Amino acid sequence: MQLSTNIWVWLGVFFTLSVLSFLYKDNPFYKLAEHVTVGVSIGYAIVLWWNLTVYPRFIIPVFENGHFILIIPAILGLMMVLRIVPKWSWLSRYAICFTVGGGAGMGIPRSMQASVLRQLEATMLPLSLNSATGINNIVIFIGVLTVLIYFFFSKEHKGVFGGAAKIGIWFLMVGFGATFGYTVMARLSLFIGRVLFILQDFLGLNLAG
Amino acid sequence: MLWKKQIPLAITFITGLVFGIQYFVPHRTSENLFNAYVDWEIVIGIFGGILAYISFYRAHTMRIRKKAPAWQYSLVAIGISLLMIFFGFIQGTETGTFFSNMYFYVLVSIEGTMFSLLAFYISSAAYRAFRARSAQATALLIAAIIVMLGRIPLGEQLSFWKLIWSNAPSFTDIANWILNIPNMAAKRAMNLGIGLGIMMLSLKIVLGIERSYMGSGD
Amino acid sequence: MHRPKVQTLAFLAIAVWVSMLLSGCVQESTAPAVPTGATVTDIPADDGTNILIAWRHYKSSTAKQYSVYYSLSKDSLENEDLMKSLTPIVRTIQTAASSVGDTTANNVCDLDYYVVLDDPSSENPRVTLVKATNENRDSLASIGEKVLQVESELAPVGQDELKLIYAQGDFYRVKPPDAPGEANKTTVENSTLAIDSTGPKIAEGTNSLIFELGLSPAEKAFRDAEDRIVPFDPEQNEFFLKYGTKILGIVTSKSRYTLDFDIVQAFIRGNIAPGQTYFYKIVADNGKKATASSEILEFTPQNEPPIPAMGASARWDAERSEVLFNWQGFIPSLKPFRDVREYTIHKFTKEDSACVAGEIIGTYAPDFTSAIVKGEFSEGDMFYIATTDKSDQRSVSQPFGLTPFKLSPPTLVEPLDVVDFENDDGGALSVRWGVPQIAIDIVAIDPSPKFEDKELGENYYLVPTESGYEIAHLEATEEMPIDPKAAPIVGVKESKLAEKFDVSVSYRMFINDDNDVLYAKFKLDDGKFQNDFANVGSFKFEGLPAGEHTFEAVLLNSAGKELKNPEARVTRTIVIDRPTTYWDDRPTDHLEFWRGNAEIIRKDTVWLAGVPGFDPTNRFTFEQIGMSELIERQIKDAFPDSLRDLGEYYYFVRQVAEDGSFTDSEIFGPITPKSQLYHTKKSMVLVLVILFIALVTIFLKLARTGRRFYLRPIAGIAHLDEALGRATEMGRPILYVLGLSGISDIATLAGLTILGRVAKKSAEFQTRILVPCVDPIVMIVAQETVKTACMDAGRPDTYNEDDVFYAAGSQFSYAAAVAGLMVRHKTAANFYMGMFFAESLILTETGSMTGSIQIAGTDAVTQIPFFITTCDYTLIGEELYAASAYLSQDPLQVGTLKAQDMLKAIYMVVIVIGTVAMTTGFMWFVNLFKIRLEQ
Amino acid sequence: MAELKQEKTFWEKLVQIDRRFIYLIIALAMTLPFFFQMGLPIPATKEVKDIYDLIETFKPNDVVILSADFDPSVSPELLPMFDAMFRHCLKAGVKVIAMSLYIQGPGLIEPVINQAAKDYNKVNGIDYAFLGWQYGYNLVVINMMENLKQTFPVDYYGERTEDLPILGNVNNYADYDLITSMNGSSTYMTWLLYAHEPYNVPMACGVTAVSAADVYPYIQSGQFIGMLGGLKGAAEYETLISEKRMATMGMEAQNWAHIFIILFIIIGNIGFFIIGRKK
């Protein structure tokens, strides 16, 4: 183990600790970290924004390849910026509506295909009792149906319907359980990532061994 | 009124309609229209980006001018962002530059750690708050525990019953089954609902029923 | 509070950065290496407009970009300003990520090597490394430099003050590894180990042998020699790769030698004239204003005559009175530079020994390499093939004679057709042929192979032979050293035969888009048929007993019916008594596809003497666009934009037999690709979308017109009131959290609706309600909501604006603030209605510690579980919307909800029917919902 | 009131234990294991293996697109995935294209890419391409399905993409053999909607454990070939390419962290019931 000599690593550790200090209570170090993030990410964003989009996708095409038509969307884009000028903010709507409308229009049939049709198709499975898959398929069939019923609001949960809804809630709970377990895992992984950073990059321990 | 509401709504409706239909039309013209639209959108968005940056600087300069509580932080934020821009353009963005170091060691450290706080909150919540309040909550917790055991290497070792009956399913197997069968079923049903919700929202937007995206004001 | 502390902090931070800017952020730019070793290659047999220039790029050089300037006049290269006017060929160098600074430099002082250069004056001297001995050390020191370090990884340039020398030489550092390398294994299938009087033998058998081998003598010698630096020896290539590390850089006290370079190539294509002499110069640029340029060199492109046709043959079928000519027209790798106008086949006569005046038998476009000529031929006829290029240069093949032969032209595949590609933007046509066909492959493996160890004596070696391996008993002696390829046998294992096998059968479908084929169903021995619903393409059988087994597979159409044609069914009976692989042979129709189009042919200036451009009736003006591949029984001729919309396209298909004889189809066409207006495969989506829109609009209309719909009571609402009651009893305030997201979020809106209800009730009970907000807009709306609620309750006095307030802007600060709130006010009931993220944990945990009743409602799937386990009641997902709709009875919300319900109902029906159909193998319904939009 | 004064029972004390104590335990549980590694095997689950196997079947000219659609907040989970898959692609010698729909993505993956390139001495632009980021989420996806080089005129280092040898004949959807999006939210839906569904490009995804459970429906429906779920997924992939890296190491800590969380839940609930019964 040898301590890192890289000033940046030290900086990283300093901020890691400043953020962790929030566990004790909200404090200036945490606030500093919070604002540094904002600063860095904005600066970072602006540079990439220019290097990777504005320059190659607008400046070059328009001023070198002469696709002047692109000036129109550019103007629309600038109209969007007018949002911050209360008097002119309504102008931004033209750009926004153009964007949002198209997006919405594209979305409907595509979601229909990807998250409805394909999903329905995948739920049509051959049921049978004499093979593991067959039985699993039965479980899936019941599961999907009953959960759909649980979220069906036009009929009171009574009788058979109510029974189905009850089964549905159990499926939901198992599903949420899975999410729960996985989420716990995720949260822990995040901290482990930081621990690894401190142990390896900062303290320079060789853990792989 | 007309200029501020009707026409924008009309634009939404028309673009929505056109590109809804476009999906079903493989014809060249429709292809070209689509691609042109996408190109335009990208340029619009690129310039829309300015909005975010301006509002950032506005917000913080405001705080500094107003000497709002803890305004010094805004000073830091602005100062650092300017530094990033300066070095990003002067020195480039490759590994080892100020720009990339700032990003990789500072930003990543901070944001990474911020969310890793949750590791602690979740552990104390696990201890003090996650309660099997009802049969269903119990089922949830049990499923969760199985998944948690199934997703770690140790899970195999902890499946003690395998000592007696060696080809019984281990925690890992059970977890995988839960994830692939009941969980899958439940999530599919929910996704169907969510998908509906999304389409519903899009439709309302196209039909001009949902307008909140247009921002406040008349 | 701690303002001063904060101030100092902030400025301290700034200071840290400023100091950092000064620390090592500055790089001085080192000039790149002078481009050297330039070579010029004139592309053979081209039209003299192509030149390939290659030179060395040293990896440690800072060169980022090379520009090759060329011109007819020398001085335009000498003079900077004139050079600016030239447009160079630019090659950007993709530098391998220059390492972040760490180099695995290793010190080799005590190895005592010296660098000696062949001629130090040259730009890239050749390095020799000499190991010093006591005798020659001093002399070496005088002519060379002592090696301090050898680098297997290039250090970033400009690190040290050493003189950079770009040298040549290929050396490896070879260290004897400290660990003894583990024995490598060789398996010999289908054999047994027979041990007789003469010793062990590898005999024919059903087992497999695994030999554990020690290092071969040669390898052992190489590996165990002392630590050394040796020039690379291709003979021992794999040893070098295994035990050596390539040396890329050598460091002495004075200089840093770089040995590692790439060859960079630049093409000059077109815009140079044949026969002219050009001058050129290569300029290296490091992207930071520092350049280095080579001296001025020259090249002269030539328009060579075409390569004469090779391997020409004439196979004569007397009774068909046909001759099949075959020739190798052009070197395939040079195709892009092909300069051929036509091939002509001539009769060869003694008189015309110069091959200039022979009678022409046929003329063919450059893509052709074979032709069948009808006519009367006689023994002893001789021919030659002349190749003419676009500038009328001509070269002729060796004269060749007839060889009697039985031509067997294949019968053309049936059916065969050229169709417009469906559902596209008119950018493709498609050639399709053949009937649906299936082939199966069977792989049987021993799931748990058992081996027994065999005993062999000392000094047995495994010697590779032509046929395989043999075991030899060898003793190394002075006069006869052991064959270096032979490896000492450390151990032998022989497999025991298995009784049970894992068998996987995979099938292949040979089909095209015109065939209506779904997948195969499959039968083992006389079991039941099973369908491959999931299109896995294979079936697995575990623990299949050894012996004879019958596998049957048949293709099904989209209606789940068996295909009738015999090719669509296979029945294979094979004996499985050892690990086996069986392969059905694939259909072997070998097709060539030829396309003709007036525009394209002109574009490519394929042009026959006497034939003006493209002629749809003359096959020899067509160009070949491809050959048939194995599985797909169709080719998609998708036109790049340059070849689109060029009017009429013609095709013909040539089917070639094993022996090279062929049959041509009739010419298809004219065909013009069409741009479809409707995508037929998306019909189901269309239906559902229309249904969706219809339902939504209808229900919204109805709801607007005041029609009341039934909504089932949501259990959660009852709990809300209960919690309120409890709060009132305890006389403690209640807390209402609207979540993190903005006003446009449906969840937030639902939350606000419910807030209205809660606020109204709490106003009636005169219970204080706290609403901390994140989003300013949400806050304003919330204030309005609460205010009106108090009005409705007839208790405007209970409304206190400060109770609906802005807590904090960022996620965690907000969580902390609200948590504090709970503790301070000992809130009796907490409501969480809206969109939540990770902070939900912090809130609900504190809530449950303060022992308040908690009721949550959100559509954030990842947070719901935490609410369920920490709250007394949770509105899950859409229940939240439902609750809000139920409370507000707002037509918009209710209508939406009803429409969604209707669609859900439809989903359920579809799923049920579909499942039944699938279970009963009633496929057509399921297929309505199968949409696969092909690539 | 009287009740409050009453002496606290063992369980009450245990349940109301100071949270910082719990923080300490869990912090140790996530740190110490690195010093006492168990090196337990991490067998790959089907979802992960399927991706690996597919790439194994690829030929040198096949194209794999790895899209790092995430930001630092989730990088501990997703970066190892990217790392493992990127390395596998280099190893398998397929053309691999790294990109990101999130502006913060490129900065994260660049060091990883460089390191991997160094370890396998592969060259940018020849063995792999790093296109960086482009504005427009779904627009980028739509656009690159039709024309990659127009969508990304330059790569992350500002080289014109036309000049990159690797992209020589990589132009549109027809040339992509696998797209894998690592994302911390549901960006995989964008890819599903605009890449997989219309063009049938094979897709896989790497997601944070948080959203992993929601992806299974799409695997079962065959829309995704497979999925890497959280750190475990990454670790499994590392096992497959037999390289012990960040994720595999992380699992050492993950083991104990999970065990302790489970213990917390159990103890907490026992306490809850005992106290409950007393009241």
Residue B203: pLDDT above 90? yes
Query: D170 with D212, same domain?
Result: yes
Residue D79: what pLDDT?
95
The answer to whether C395 touches C305, Cβ cutoff 8 Å, is yes
**Nearest-CB residue to C94 (from D113, D125, D198):** D125
Find the radius of gyration of the CA atoms of chain C.
42
Nearest to C434 by CA among C511, C534, C549: C511
Q: What angle do CA A130, A134, A139 make, to 5 degrees?
A: 120
CATH of the domain at D154: 3.40.50.10160
- For residue C39, give how far its alpha carbon lies from the nearest alpha carbon of chain A (Å): 35
Q: Which range has the worst mean pLDDT, C406-410, C453-457, C730-734?
A: C453-457
Q: D203 and D265: one domain?
A: no
Q: How many CB pairs under 8 A join B and C?
A: 138
For residue C97, which residues of chain D lie inside 8 Å, CB to CB?
Answer: 113-114, 117-118, 124
Range of the structural domain that residue D270 is part of? 2-36+254-278
Q: Are residues D208 and D258 in the same domain?
A: no
Distance from CA of A71 to the nearest CA of C (A): 25
Residues of A in contact with D249 (CB under 8 A): 196, 207-208
| Helix, strand, or coil (residue C370) | strand
Please, which chains are in contact with D (at least 3 CB pairs closer than 8 A)?
A, B, C
How far apart, in Å, are the Cα atoms of C553 and each of C349, C444, C448, C524, C526? Answer: 60, 17, 28, 9, 12
Spatial distance between the Cα atoms of C102 and C108, rounded to a whole number of angstroms: 18
Bridge-based pairing of strands D203-207 and C105-107 is unpaired
Structure tokens at D79: 């970066």
D186-201 pLDDT per residue, tens: 899 999 999 998 888 9
Give yes or no for a cis peptide into C415 (omega within 30° of 0): yes
Q: Cβ contact (<8 Å) for D136 and B45?
A: yes
Q: In terms of domains, do D110 and D141 share one?
A: yes
CB contact under 8 A, D124 and C97: yes
pLDDT at C219 over 90: no
Q: Is the pLDDT at B15 greater than 90, yes or no?
A: yes
Domain count, chain A: 1
D89 and D178 assigned to the same domain: yes
Are the Cβ atoms of A208 and D222 closer than 8 angstroms? no
Residue D263 or C598, more confident: D263
Q: For residue range C283-320, list pLDDT tens digits in order.
A: 998 776 788 888 899 999 999 899 999 889 999 998 88
d(CA D123, CA D114): 9
| ipTM of model | 0.93
CB atoms within 10 A of CB B20: 23
Q: Does A194 contact D at CB distance below 8 Å?
A: yes
* CA–CA separation, B181 and A62 (whole Å): 54
Cβ(D158)–Cβ(D139) below 8 Å: no
The predicted-structure confidence for C222-276, as pLDDT tens digits, reads as follows: 888 888 888 998 888 888 888 888 888 888 888 888 888 888 888 888 788 899 9
- Percent of residues in chain A assigned helix, strand, coil, to nearest 5: 80, 0, 20
d(CA A171, CA B182): 6
Contact C914 A124 (CB under 8 A): yes
The rounded percent of chain D whose pLDDT value lies above 90 is 65
Residue D114 forms part of a structural domain: yes
Residue D143 and residue D12 in one domain: no
How far, in Å, CA of A134 to CA of C915, rounded? Answer: 12
Please report residues of C whose CB lies closer than 8 A to that of D173: 935
Best D139, D152, D224, D228 member to test B by mutation, with max B CBs in 10 Å, is D139
Segment B76-90 shows an average pLDDT of 91
Nearest chain B residue to C675 by CA distance is B27
Q: Tell whether A202 is covered by a domain.
A: yes
C684 touches chain A (CB under 8 A): yes
CA dihedral B92, B94, B97, B99 (to 10 degrees): 70
User: Between chains, do D210 and C862 touch, taking CB under 8 Å as contact?
Assistant: yes
Residue A90 domain flag: no
Residue type, C499: E
What pLDDT score does C2 carry?
41
Weakest-pLDDT range from B12-16, D66-70, D132-136: D132-136
Are residue D134 and residue D258 in the same domain, yes or no? no
Nearest to B131 by CA among D95, C914, A108, C871: C871
CB A67 within 8 A of CB A74: no
Buried b (16+ CB within 10 A) or exposed e, D238-255: bbbbebbbbbbbbbbbbb
In total, the C-beta contacts within 8 angstroms joining chain A to chain B are 397
Residue C381 tokens read as 């006829």
Chain A interface includes B20 (CB < 8 A): yes
Residue C395 CA to residue C329 CA, distance in Å, equals 12
**Residue D45, φ and ψ in degrees, nearest 5:** -80, 165
Q: Evaluate whether residue D58 is within a structural domain.
A: yes
Q: How confident is the model at residue D75 (pLDDT cuts 50, 70, 90)?
A: very high
Answer yes or no: is pLDDT of C6 > 70: no
Domains in chain C: ranges and CATH = 33-176+228-304 (no CATH), 184-219+451-495 (no CATH), 310-404 (2.60.40.10), 416-424+428-433+589-671 (2.60.40.10), 505-583 (2.60.40), 678-708+893-935 (no CATH), 715-888 (3.40.50.720)
Q: In this complex, do D258 and B154 lie within 8 Å of one another by their Cβ atoms?
A: yes
Compute the distance between CA of residue C397 and CA of residue C312 in angstroms, rounded to an integer. Answer: 8
Of C533, C866, C911, the CB nearest to A120: C911
DSSP state letter for C294: P
Same domain, D165 and D200: yes
Residue C931 has phi, psi (to 5 degrees) of -125, 120
Q: Is the pLDDT of residue A142 over 90?
A: yes
Q: Count Cβ neighbours within 10 Å for each residue of B26-38 and write b for 16 or more, e otherwise.
A: bbbebbeebeebb
Which chains have 3+ CB pairs within 8 A of B?
Answer: A, C, D
Q: State how far the Cα of D114 lies from the Cα of D86, in Å rounded to an integer.
A: 11
pLDDT at A86: 84
Would you state the pLDDT for residue C3?
45
Q: In the prediction, which pLDDT does C768 show?
A: 92
Whether D249 is in a domain gets the answer no
- Containing D227, the helix (H) or strand (E) segment is strand D227-229
D232 part of a folded domain: yes
Query: SS3 string of chain B?
Result: CHHHHHHHHHHHHHHHHHHHHHCCCCCHHHHHHHHHHHHHHHHHHHHHHHHHHHHHHHHHHHHHHCCCCCHHHHHHHHHHHHHHHHHHHHHCCCCCCHHHHHHHHHHHHHHHHHHHHHHHHHHHHHHHCCCCCCHHHHHHHHHHHHHHHHCCCHHHHHCHHHHCCCCCCCHHHHHHHHHHHHHHHHHHHHHHHHHHHHHHHHHHHHHCCCCHHHCCCC
Q: Where are the alpha helices (DSSP H) in C236-325?
A: 237-243
* Closest CA of chain B from C47, distance in Å: 38
Confirm if D124 and D109 have CB atoms less than 8 A apart: no
CA distance D206 to D85: 10
Rounded to 10 degrees, the C-alpha dihedral B116/B122/B123/B129 comes to 160
- Interface touch C96/D118, C-beta < 8 Å: yes
Q: Residue C301: left if φ>0, alpha if ψ -120 to 50, beta else—which one? A: beta
Between CA C145 and CA C848 the distance in angstroms is 78
**Closest Cα of chain D to A153: distance in Å?**
23
CA distance D199 to chain C (A): 5
Question: Is the per-residue pLDDT at C685 higher than 80?
Answer: yes
3-class secondary structure, C187:
strand
Average pLDDT over residues C118-140: 86
In a domain, A5, yes or no: no
Query: How much is the pTM?
Result: 0.84
Helix (H), strand (E) at residue C182: none
Is A178 close to B44, i.e. CB distance below 8 A?
Answer: no
Residue A191: inside a domain: yes
Q: Is residue D84 part of a domain?
A: yes
pLDDT tens readout for residues C458-512:
788 888 887 778 888 877 666 666 676 778 888 888 888 888 899 999 999 998 8
More confident residue, B172 or C606: B172
The answer to whether C735 touches C829, Cβ cutoff 8 Å, is yes
D184 found inside a domain? yes
Range of the structural domain that residue A207 is part of: 125-209
Tell me whether residue D142 is in a domain. Answer: yes
Residues D207 and D75 in one domain: yes
CA distances for C649 relative to C531, C652, C677, angstroms? 42, 10, 21
Name which of A6, A183, A187, A192 to mutate to probe chain D: the one with the most chain D Cβ atoms within 10 A of its Cβ: A192
For residue C859, the chain B residue with the least C-alpha distance is B194
C313-345 per-position pLDDT tens digit: 999 998 889 999 999 887 878 887 888 888 999
Higher pLDDT among residues C613 and C829, named by residue: C829
Q: Give chains near C: 3+ CB pairs under 8 A.
A: A, B, D
Residues D160 and D218 in one domain: yes
B115/B124 Cα distance (integer angstroms): 15
Strand, coil or helix: what is C416? Answer: strand
The answer to whether C924 and C916 are in contact (CB under 8 A) is: no
Q: Tell me whether residue A181 is in a domain.
A: yes
Contact residues, B window 56-85, toward A, CB-based 8 Å cutoff: 56, 58, 70, 73-74, 76-85
Assign C28 a pLDDT band (cuts: 50, 70, 90).
Answer: very low
Residue D110 in domain: yes
Per-residue confidence band for C914, with pLDDT thresholds at 50, 70 and 90: very high
Number of domains in chain D: 2
Q: pLDDT tens for residues B133-144? A: 899 999 999 999
Looking at residue C723, the DSSP 8-state letter turns out to be H
Convert C477-507 to b/e letters by CB count within 10 Å (16 or more is b): eeeeebeeebbbbeebbbbeebeebbbebbb
> Does pLDDT of C4 surpass 70?
no
Residue A166 located in a structural domain: yes
Q: Is the pLDDT of residue C518 over 80?
A: yes
Chain D residues in contact with B128 by the CB 8 A cut-off are 15, 19, 268
Mean pLDDT of C588-595: 89
Q: C104 Cβ partners below 8 Å, 6+ apart? A: C151, C152, C153
| Structural domain contains residue A6 | no
Q: Which chain A residues contact residue B91 at CB under 8 A?
A: none
Q: What residues have CB less than 8 Å from C903, skipping those under 6 apart? A: B196, C691, C692, C695
How far apart are the CA of B195 and the nearest CA of chain C, in angstroms? 10
